[in-house]
Amino acid sequence: MSCSRFTAPARSVPIPIPAPPAPFTISPMLRQSIEQRLQQAVARRLPDADLTSVLVRPCPDPKFGDYQSNALMGLAKQRRLNPRQLATEIAADLQLDDLCEPTEIAGPGFLNFRLKPAALAAMLSVAARGEHLFFRPATEPYTVVVDFSSPNVAKPMHVGHIRSTILGDCLARTLRLLGHRVITDNHIGDWGTQFGMLLVGWKTLLDEAALDRDPIAELERIYRAVNARCSEDKPEFDPATLEQARAELVKLQGGDEENTGIWRRMIALSQQQFDTIYGRLGVRFDHTFGESFYNDRLAEAVTELESRGIVRESEGALLAFFDDVPPLKNQPAIVRKRDGAANYTTTDLATLQYRLATWNPDEIIYVTDGRQQLHFQQVFEIFRRWHPDAPVRLSHVWFGSILGENNQPLKTRSGENIKLADLLDEAEERALRVVAEKNPELPESEQREIARMVGLGAVKYADLLPNRQSDYVFSWDKMLALNGNTAPYLLYAATRIRSIFRKLAESGETFDLAAAGADLTLAEPAELALAKQLQNFDFVLHAVAEEHRPNYLCNYLYELAGQFTGFYEACPVLRAEGTVRATRLVLCELTFRVLAQGLEVLGLEVPERM
RNA sequence: GCGUCGGUAGCUCAAUUGGAUAGAGCACCUGACUUCGGAUCAGGUGGUUGGGGGUUCGAGUCCCUCCCGGCGUACCA
């Protein structure tokens, strides 16, 4: 029952930005400290061992401990050593007294580590001083280009764009948080044969009033009308229109002033639509270099490929063959069509070349659906032959389809693509119904603001939660559910913490996190479990960045919220006293900050209450 | 045909270098409250990880094979 006296406006809670870490001689993260010392111990015993495989990770089951390493079994096998004996020797040499209980050796050679409460408390104190938020920035920041969203000019953005947009934005946010240099580039579809038809439509069918009202709808209308006349299998087919479209396209490609002007206007109108959607989603790009940006670089790229013998002529076109790459055998890529025109392989190669020359990135991430796997394999392979020494990592981060309840790709009842704007509207409307029901005492404007955060958050979270490579079934009821692994559940957990501090402030008490964190005592199992879960934020963020899988973070935050509610049930906060109370308040605040920071990385906003 | 991704509880999905007894939510059953906001929590039922074979101390994960499904496969992007 929420009390209507509390009229704090709904707003996004500012995310505390942790101060950059001081130069450490040893990692501030407990897991990493254990890992480093284990690696040192392994190096003393086996000087030639590959230490990159000596890893310490969270235990799958707390009964074994908090962290474990199974690396010694692999090392022993390679060297034909007795794994348990090797584990015993290395454990005896490990200096972990300040962090852990004595190391346990289990099974065929697992090392199990159990953190000392005092070490956990010390970490919480440092976090309470604002020196870290349970993660460390990358030790070697790199430059990464993230290419995502890529909608088409003159068409409405639809559900097909949502996964790329949300995944790409989340990866960019994660990488930025970890201190990498991130460049986001929206490779919009602003060039291609469709502009011939659009130009014909613009010149012969355009309704200026309709264009003023809804530019994209009008562009879509004229495109469809002309496209029908240009399709041989349609009743409206008209060879003269087809010829006209070809002629307009040639004029555009030749730099004709009138056509270029219309084309620019179509792009500007589309950009307004993109900006509206991205504004709602909180997505931003550093660059929007569309396909047309590379027009004057295509010929040179093809020439270079030709002179290096990477492509050769076949049936009038220029192709790259990959007979020595088994999966690409019999899958040549066209780089110049028979009519001399470039295609998307050409554009992507020129784009790659430009990005390399301009930003010298260490990684380029392409976020597209899985149907483009073959295309990117070909592009990457050609590029490797073209620039065999370029140290750039090329990552095709692909994802599956969004399906409707019928297990078919999600469409409207009439079989149309669902417009993204309509989808976002519906998300907010559905969330508003729930918010209004649960919080009838709140003013409508605040209900709407909460509904906006919950509704859009639910859509984003539903998209980021599943393994990106599997298809997923779109379900309003599931994503807006108040229980289970959903955005509303996580946001609710965060608002419960806010509620504690509202209550505290209401009683006139002030809370100084750093001061409260100076003297902590962790005793209850729920307190320890929560503190340990906070520790793992670092591990998860780096896994997300490395493997391009935001679902790891979703699952982590859901577990954190679960640990928090367990703690919340078992450990009274405001009713406690002295150091116990201070400790619990610190746990609440730090949990909130990690939740809020994690949700922010996922692109979700946290309301003050809901 | 070839390539590729997938098949995990009734349903929707997880599972971190191969690692310990395959975990959640929903649904179903049983409990807990005059609540630091019950939009909650605790417990229970539920599995031959599509079938078969192999490698390994250890396989949902790697290899082989078969079955089923999605997607791709020379001038769309």
Buried b (16+ CB within 10 A) or exposed e, A69-103: bbbbbebbeeeebebbebbebbbeebebeebbeeb
Tell me the sheet residues that pair with A312: A319
Residues 432-491 of A with CB under 7 A from strand B: 434-435, 438-439, 454, 465-467, 469-473, 475, 478, 481-485, 488-489
Per residue in A2-26, pLDDT (tens digit) is: 232 333 333 444 444 444 344 333 4
Least confident of A15-19, A293-297, A445-449, A541-545: A15-19
Which H/E stretch holds residue A232?
A: none
Rounded-to-integer distance, Cα A528 and Cα A521, Å: 10
Best CA proximity match to A321, nearest among A309, A339, A304: A309
DSSP reduced 3-state for A367: strand
- Straight-line distance from CA A70 to C1' B51, in Å? 32
Q: Residue A333: which nucleotide is closest by CA–C1'?
A: B74
Least confident of A15-24, A173-182, A289-298: A15-24
Give pLDDT, residue A325: 86
DSSP reduced 3-state for A334: strand
The pLDDT of residue A420 is above 50: yes
The pLDDT of residue A232 is above 80: yes
pLDDT class of A70 with cuts at 50, 70, 90 = very high
- Straight-line distance from CA A584 to C1' B40, in Å? 19
What's chain A's average pLDDT? 90
Share of chain A above pLDDT 90, in %: 77
Rounded-to-integer distance, Cα A4 and Cα A101, Å: 49
Per residue in A439-470, pLDDT (tens digit) is: 888 899 999 999 999 999 999 999 999 989 88
Give pLDDT, residue A20: 39
A315 CB below 7 A from strand B atoms: yes
A383 CB below 7 A from strand B atoms: no
pLDDT higher for A20 or A165? A165
Rounded-to-integer distance, Cα A585 and Cα A591, Å: 10
Per residue in A316-372, pLDDT (tens digit) is: 999 999 988 888 988 999 999 998 999 999 999 999 999 999 999 999 999 999 999
Give pLDDT, residue A28: 64
Q: Tell me, what DSSP letter sits at residue A482?
A: S
Give pLDDT, residue A207: 96
Per residue in A91-128, pLDDT (tens digit) is: 999 999 999 999 999 999 999 999 999 999 999 999 99
Residues 81-100 of A with CB under 7 A from strand B: 83
Give pLDDT, residue A493: 92
Residue A264: count of CB within 10 angstroms of its CB? 12
Taking residues A187-203, what's their average pLDDT?
94
Share of chain A above pLDDT 70, in %: 95
Q: For A414-573, where are the E strands, in sequence order?
A: 472-473
Q: What angle do CA A41, A47, A50 make, to 5 degrees?
A: 85
Q: Residue A486: which nucleotide is closest by CA–C1'?
A: B25
By the 10 Å C-beta count (0-12 exposed, 13-18 middle, 19+ buried), A521 is classed as middle
Taking residues A388-406, what's their average pLDDT?
90
Least confident of A166-170, A241-245, A406-410, A477-481: A406-410
